[in-house]
Amino acid sequence: MAETTTRAAEPRGFRSAELGWPELHRIPHPPRRLPLLGDVLGVNRATPLQDSLRFARQLGPIYRRKAFNREFVFVWGADLVADLADESRFAKHVGLGVANLRPVAGDGLFTAYNHEPNWQLAHDVLAPGFSREAMEAYHPMMLAVAGRLTDRWDREQAAGRSVDVPGDMTKLTLETIARTGFGHDFGSFERDRPHPFVTAMVGTLTYAQRLNSVPFPALLRRAAQRNADDIAYLNRMVDDLVGARRAAGGDGDLLDRMLETAHPETGERLSPENVRRQVITFLVAGHETTSGALSFALHYLSRHPEVAARARAEVDRVWGSAAVPGYDQVAKLRYVRRVLDESLRLWPTAPAFAREAVQDTVLAGRHLMRRGAWTLVLTPMLQRDPEVWGADAERFDPDRFDPKAVRSRPPHVFKPFGTGARACIGRQFALHEATLVLGLLLRRYELRADPGYRLSVTERLTLMPEGLRLHLERRSGSGATAAPVADSDEAPAASESRCPVSGAGD
Ligand code: HEM
């Protein structure tokens, strides 16, 4: 099972930077490097990403860090990242955090090595599950799950209680991917505590993150046992779900695709073991990041009443008196989408992705890389690079995603969904779901921040605002009294024929 054993804090294929970067000495590292330990002074094991951002600010657009015997190169300068997006010279690197998930997700889409045949097979079989046609079929299910959220929030509001934003967004996004992908209901909204699936999933993500920062996994023996139990639980749950589907048949969702669809050219199908990996992958990848994105967006909306008012006015104008929005009415919420994009700019909830050289090359004309050398792209810093985003890059301003402003920026400076062939397959799914839910919440409630709350970000490979609670006020007549739909804002052209991944994040 575990590919992360013995020599071995190191995932398979781990390459310390000195092996791949012949001129490593030209890349700065933090001062006060300690023998044996490396750059550990002042770092916090619970917040590796936020530590990396701090180092980035001190050391510049490319730097390195050493943790014990392992050295990593981090990149965030816009010209360097643009060069790394060149698919003819670079590809996804499955390293560290991602490779640590292999014991649970194996060669599922997210964790597959580029050379593994199951990546292309699953990509080709599952990509149509994210076409416009498929998304339209998910829309009513997304609405139904959102209805369970607003029922809950109505009750909390009526009782004068604030709402737990990250907790409820996690329930929402888990139920959404479970329902749309697998016809399953975890009953999250009816539970006081998280579903055991969520507890086991958070356990494995946290364990994978901890493996990054300990020199010897033996130090984590008890945690490793808990992790093995978590994985066993996830496997059992998924096997039950798949077994029930095989017995009952399905209705054309992602799981049906996994079980029934043959590759259009080769006729090959996903093996039962691979289906298990994919179900876990989609249940995890399909909700953890979107719940963070929604939570950050709600935080910013509550802190910027002028932005919330503008977004709400758009919802009222575009959705009018429709009891529930149609599929096309979601893409027309252009300003709400900008709020989401701006939240994902400041806090991309999957905050880094790794790229490796597929040949000996020179990064951005300056840094020699041997074939197989790799680097971590720090998305939150890329998306705050003052040279691209201006001196006020840290400020929340959705107008940065006004089409004219977008056109004025170079490509590859906004990458919350990664890049290239291995970019996020669920991007449209996440954007549709999150825009829909923000629209529904803005239409129904005024969001009131707790004045004492200061944004604190918790990390478990993905990012989430910690302890965020909001007070709600029901809007009078919300949802049924506004003006009719304005049709002038054209929705973006449908792209059924294209792979939903191509161009993602560019
Ligand atoms: C706001 C929400 C989301 C964000 C920020 C996000 C971000 C990302 C990023 C950065 C990657 C590339 C990782 C890498 O290069 O190593 C990725 C890949 C992936 N995402 Fe997402 N994601 C989101 C939502 C979703 C959803 C809703 C699904 C499924 C329904 C999903 C499924 C996947 C899968 C399967 C991959 C692997 C694709 C491949 O390698 O072929 N994601 N995502």
Confidence of residue 2 (pLDDT cuts 50, 70, 90): very low
Q: How far is the CA of 25 from the centre of ligand 1 (A)?
A: 34
SS3 for 382-394 is: HCCCHHHHCCCCC
Contact in structure between 155 and 454 (CB atoms under 8 Å)? no
Instruction: Calculate mean pLDDT across residues 372-395.
Output: 96
Answer yes or no: is 440 within a domain.
yes
Which residue has its alpha carbon closest to ligand 1 atom 30?
Answer: 286
Is 376 a residue whose pLDDT tops 70?
Answer: yes
Phi, psi (degrees; rounded to nearest 5) at 8: 175, -20
Q: How far is the CA of 427 from the centre of ligand 1 (A)?
A: 7
362: which strand partners?
A: 368
- For residue 55, give every residue at least 6 positions away whose Cβ sits within 8 Å of its Cβ, in sequence order, or none: 30, 39, 63, 65, 74
Residue 289 known to be catalytic: yes
Contact in structure between 311 and 339 (CB atoms under 8 Å)? yes
- For residue 42, give every residue at least 6 positions away whose Cβ sits within 8 Å of its Cβ, in sequence order, or none: 51
Q: What is the spatial distance between Cα 174 and Cα 191, in angstroms, rounded to a whole number?
A: 13
249 CB neighbour count, 10 Å cutoff: 9
Tell me the percentage of the chain whose pLDDT exceeds 90.
Answer: 72
Contact in structure between 455 and 463 (CB atoms under 8 Å)? no
Answer yes or no: is the C-beta of 284 below 6 A from any ligand 1 atom.
no
The b-or-e profile of 446-481 (16+ CB within 10 A means b, else e) is bbebeeebeeebebbbbbbbeebebbbeeeeebbee
Answer yes or no: is the C-beta of 435 below 6 A from any ligand 1 atom.
no
Pairing of strands 469-474, 90-92: unpaired
Answer yes or no: is 482 within a domain.
no
Q: What is the spatial distance between Cα 8 and Cα 185, in angstroms, rounded to a whole number?
A: 38
Instruction: Calculate mean pLDDT across residues 12-40.
Output: 83
Angle at 238 between CA 168 and CA 169, to 5 degrees: 10
Tokens at residue 281, please? 């992958």
DSSP output for 35-54: TTTBS-TT--TT-HHHHHHH
Answer yes or no: is 114 within a domain.
yes
DSSP output for 336-390: HHHHHHHHHHH--SS-EEEEEESSSEEETTTEEE-TT-EEEEEHHHHTT-HHHH-
Average pLDDT score over the chain: 88
Residue 429 known to be catalytic: no
Closest ligand 1 atom to Cα of 177 = 30
> How does pLDDT run across 265-320, given as a tens digit for each residue?
999 999 999 999 999 999 989 888 999 999 999 999 999 999 999 999 999 999 99
Answer yes or no: is the C-beta of 416 below 6 A from any ligand 1 atom.
yes
Catalytic residue among 55, 401, 417, 429: 417
Is 500 a residue whose pLDDT tops 60?
Answer: no
pLDDT at position 483 is 33
457: which strand partners?
A: 465
Answer yes or no: is 280 within a domain.
yes
Q: How far is CA 471 from the centre of its chain?
A: 26
Instruction: Calculate mean pLDDT across residues 343-360.
Output: 97
Pick from 94-98, 127-131, 219-223, 330-334 the range whose average pLDDT is largest: 330-334
DSSP output for 235-267: HHHHHHHHHHHHHH---SSHHHHHHHPPPTTT-
Phi, psi (degrees; rounded to nearest 5) at 124: -70, -35
CATH number of the domain residue 266 falls in: 1.10.630.10
Instruction: Calculate mean pLDDT across residues 150-160.
Output: 97
Q: What is the spatial distance between Cα 135 and Cα 343, in angstroms, rounded to a whole number?
A: 23
Contact in structure between 492 and 331 (CB atoms under 8 Å)? yes
pLDDT at position 192 is 84
The pTM of the full predicted model, rounded to 2 decimals, is 0.91
Answer yes or no: is the C-beta of 21 below 6 A from any ligand 1 atom.
no
Q: What is the spatial distance between Cα 106 and Cα 291, in angstroms, rounded to a whole number?
A: 24
pLDDT at position 14 is 61
Answer yes or no: is the C-beta of 282 below 6 A from any ligand 1 atom.
yes
Is 501 a residue whose pLDDT tops 60?
Answer: no
Closest ligand 1 atom to Cα of 119 = 41
Place of tokens 């739909």: 485
Angle at 298 between CA 44 and CA 470, to 5 degrees: 90
Answer yes or no: is 8 within a domain.
no
pLDDT at position 11 is 45
Answer yes or no: is 174 within a domain.
yes
Answer yes or no: is the C-beta of 426 below 6 A from any ligand 1 atom.
yes
Catalytic residue among 289, 349, 419, 462: 289
Answer yes or no: is the C-beta of 208 below 6 A from any ligand 1 atom.
no
Answer yes or no: is 67 within a domain.
yes
Is 404 a residue whose pLDDT tops 50?
Answer: yes
In the chain, the number of structural domains is: 1
Calculate the dihedral angle through the C-alpha atoms of 39, 44, 49, 54, rounding to the nearest 10 degrees: -60
Closest ligand 1 atom to Cα of 292 = 1
Pairing of strands 70-75, 62-67: antiparallel
Answer yes or no: is 5 within a domain.
no
Q: What is the spatial distance between Cα 226 and Cα 205, in angstroms, rounded to a whole number?
A: 12
Q: How far is the CA of 304 from the centre of ligand 1 (A)?
A: 28
Instruction: Calculate mean pLDDT across residues 405-431.
Output: 97
Q: What is the spatial distance between Cα 407 and Cα 143, in angstroms, rounded to a whole number?
A: 33
Is 504 a residue whose pLDDT tops 50?
Answer: no
Answer yes or no: is the C-beta of 383 below 6 A from any ligand 1 atom.
no
pLDDT at position 479 is 52
Contact in structure between 38 and 66 (CB atoms under 8 Å)? yes
Range of the domain at 457: 17-474
369: which strand partners?
A: 361
Pairing of strands 70-75, 374-378: parallel
Which residue type occupies 498? R
